[in-house]
Amino acid sequence: MMVSVKSTLAGLVATALLIANSCAVPHGVGIKQKRQTTPIAVTGVQGSGVQPRLEIRTLQQNADMFNMYILALSRMQQTNQDDVESYYQLSGIHGLPMVPWDGVNGNPSANPPAGYCTHVSNLFLTWHRPYMALYEQVLVQNAIAVANEFQGSDQQRYLSAAQNLRIPYWDWAAPQNDSNVVPDVLIQQQISVNTPSGQQTIDNPLYTYKFTAQTQDLVYSPFTSWTQTYRHPVSQDTPTQNNDQDFVSTMNSQQPSLASRLFNLFANYNQFSQVSNEAWYQGQSGNYDSIESIHDTVHGLVGGSNNGDMSIIDVSAFDPAFWLHHASVDRFFALWQTLYPDTYVEAASQIYSNYWYTAGTTLDANSGLLPFYADTNGNFHTSNSIRDFTQFGYTYPEITGNNQDIVTAVNTLYGAGQPQAGRRKRSISQSDVIGNLSNVADTVTSSLGPVGDVVESAVNEVSNLVSDIGSYMGVSSNRDYIVNIRTDKHAVDGSYQIFVFVGDIPEDKSTWTTCDSLVGIQVITSMMYGSKMPTAIVSATLPLTRFLEKHVVLKLLSGLDEDIVIPYLTANLNWKVLGSDGCEIPLSSLPDLKISVVSTAIQKTTTLDAFPKWVNGFTSHYEVTSGKEGGLCANEED
């Protein structure tokens, strides 16, 4: 039998890297090795009251607590992969390796393999809540164990920090006025920590997760040969490396779109069945979006091309960013359910099978959320049992007991007019800018002669643009324009990204993510061999209004009335699709893809403690997409 030299070398490299990874433990921090012998009750963190989960940049401002967070996460990641409370096993609950967790058996013969996680399901949000609570309680247990290894006054200091620690969230939708959407700590390969043995620089457990044993249980290439997780990997080789700058620029580019989508959910979606999951329902053209569909997009934006781990459901939970992302998803769930307390999980048939239920099973608010035990007697949590998140010992800063505080926070963080991420907000007047530009023009003109005249002309054009931008906040539409997207989640193997443009599409697809004509991206996050799964039609939106307001400022559009906007979109709206491997997918291979444009009137508000509202129903503008491949026509279901 002939053995591939290439595969043999790859195996040797992988083994060597795994050995190296297994030694990368902070000195003085013990590795948890015990195995669980009794059922684990998911209680969250108990004994230290209800503490807020903080945005990760806010958590970093508490040096002791952040130190314990990093040490605890590093300790979890170094725990033997056979341990039921190891990072590997907790991550594996979500997808691969598809083995029983904590003795909760499933269906090992499912084809393709699927984990316990629920998607396109009425239980999507509720299933992930005890999952995050479990992760949080294990993380804090590790933090307390590390704190007890310190000596003297440091022990009590770090013990207090560990007990009050809760997992942070990453708010990828909020603008960061003077920095990037991606926190710096997510792109730092190493990090400085204070350990029981003193100050050390260690591998940053937020940058990647390094497996401590072979990964053949992850089934699919390249994951069976990769020895760590990757974001925006430059290739599918072993090893490869992250393209951190691509990750950063992608998230900066898409933050305004993500913010608009979240804002619309909070302001205008008032039914749990609409907001909770991405399943498409016929005849609801004003309710195409959901927390799940936005969540899917962030998965894909973080993973990037070349099958970055977060892009693929099967392995996404191994990326440390998964836990920051899903803490954010749970925050949006908590804020929304606090605003709309009278609507919740309704019975629904499951669209496709996972590790613990089969397609067609009807599940409701009393159905068990496997594999999460509510107690050691074998009773599982249900959507009803996890409805009150404070029972798990956590809350979020915006939840104060006054719902107007939540509305104000949502308006402030995600409402229109927020500055774009990655651009510094400056306190400077329009007249100051134009005056400074004029001074520059005068200086250049006098020193360069005829050439200076050209420069002066250009500066005058910039001055005019600044004047227009100075009135940007006054450009406000009385209608909301939205791109609706529906498609089959399992149309192809792996995930795929739908890019929507207004204007020219660059030939170089590597520039699509940040080009000026891009309206937004919807990522359809799926499994590595999703095409073997049954059809699951999902829906999402990409808001157009903010994008069109910019075109008014740039004088590409003379106004925002329907008789101006619709012909403009008809002439300029187009879309492209890329697979998770970065290759373009022909639209002809996506027969269930239907893109449409709708609009509705807006009832505005002048205060931050109230939401603007959609009124008078939605108008479908079939003329924009009719006749375009993948576009919705007038005779098709909306």
State the DSSP string of 414-482.
HSTTPPPTTS------HHHHHHHHHHHHHHHHHHHTHHHHHHHHHHHHHHHHHHHHHTGGG---SEEEE
Cα separation, 559 vs 477, whole angstroms: 8
Residue 424 CB coordination number (10 Å)? 9
- For the chain, what's the residue count? 638
pLDDT at 213: 87
Residue 419 falls inside a structural domain: no
Read off the tokens for 94.
């979500």
Same domain, 378 and 451: no
Burial class (CB within 10 angstroms; exposed 0-12, middle 13-18, buried 19+) of 135: buried
Residue the block writes with tokens 């003085």: 28
Asked if 420 and 175 touch (Cβ cutoff 8 Å), the reply is: yes
Same domain, 223 and 262: no
Same domain, 48 and 178: yes
Residue 380 CB coordination number (10 Å)? 18
Residue 422 falls inside a structural domain: no
- Helix (H) and strand (E) counts for the chain? 16, 15
Same domain, 122 and 24: yes
Asked if 512 and 476 touch (Cβ cutoff 8 Å), the reply is: no
pLDDT at 455: 45
Cα separation, 611 vs 416, whole angstroms: 11
pLDDT at 406: 98
Closest CA relative to residue 392, chosen from 138, 144, 162:
138
Residue 332 falls inside a structural domain: yes
* CATH number for position 14: 1.10.1280.10
Same domain, 201 and 292: no
Cβ neighbors of 211 (< 8 A, separation 6 or more) are 18, 21, 81, 88, 227, 228, 318
Kind plus residue range of the DSSP H or E element containing 368? strand 368-373
Same domain, 401 and 373: yes
Backbone angles phi, psi at 380, to 5 degrees: -90, 150
SS (H, E, C) 540-601: EEEECHHHHHHHHHCCCCCCCCHHHHHHHHHHHEEEEEEECCCCECCHHHCCCCEEEEEEEE
Same domain, 395 and 457: no
Read off the tokens for 470.
């100075």
Cα separation, 94 vs 116, whole angstroms: 6
Residue 420 falls inside a structural domain: no
Closest CA relative to residue 334, chosen from 471, 129, 595, 619:
129
Q: Tell me the per-residue pLDDT of 94-131, one tens digit each, with 9 for 90 and over.
A: 999 988 999 999 887 776 678 999 999 999 999 999 99
Same domain, 394 and 462: no
Residue 598 falls inside a structural domain: yes
Below-70 pLDDT ranges, the chain: 1-37, 111-112, 417-475
Q: For residue 329, how many C-alpha atoms fall within 13 Å in the half-sphere facing its CB?
A: 28
Same domain, 360 and 272: no
Read off the tokens for 228.
């760590």
Q: Report DSSP state, residue 67.
A: H
What does the radius of gyration of the chain's CA atoms come to, in whole angstroms? 25
Same domain, 208 and 104: yes
Closest CA relative to residue 90, chosen from 112, 73, 110:
73
Q: Tell me the per-residue pLDDT of 550-583, one tens digit each, with 9 for 90 and over.
A: 999 999 999 999 999 999 999 999 999 999 999 9
| Domain membership of residue 449 as a residue range | 430-470
393: alpha, beta or left? (left if phi > 0; alpha if psi -120 to 50): left
Same domain, 393 and 283: no
Same domain, 293 and 322: no
| Single residue among 366, 385, 414 that ends a domain in this structure | 414
pLDDT at 114: 83
Helix, strand, coil abundance in the chain, percent, nearest 5: 40, 15, 45
Closest CA relative to residue 172, chosen from 247, 267, 117, 118:
247
Asked if 209 and 319 touch (Cβ cutoff 8 Å), the reply is: yes
Cα separation, 137 vs 143, whole angstroms: 10
pLDDT at 28: 53
Asked if 124 and 277 touch (Cβ cutoff 8 Å), the reply is: yes
Cβ neighbors of 586 (< 8 A, separation 6 or more) are none
Residue 321 CB coordination number (10 Å)? 27
Kind plus residue range of the DSSP H or E element containing 409? helix 403-414
47: alpha, beta or left? (left if phi > 0; alpha if psi -120 to 50): left
- Say how many domains are in the chain: 3
Alpha helices in 304-364 (DSSP H): 320-339
Kind plus residue range of the DSSP H or E element containing 499? strand 496-502
Residue 553 falls inside a structural domain: yes
Cα separation, 255 vs 420, whole angstroms: 8
pLDDT at 178: 81
Read off the tokens for 172.
């990828």
Read off the tokens for 368.
């068990």
Is 399 strand, coil or helix? coil
Residue 549 falls inside a structural domain: yes
Please provide the average confidence, as pLDDT, over all residues in the chain. Answer: 88
Cα separation, 65 vs 133, whole angstroms: 18
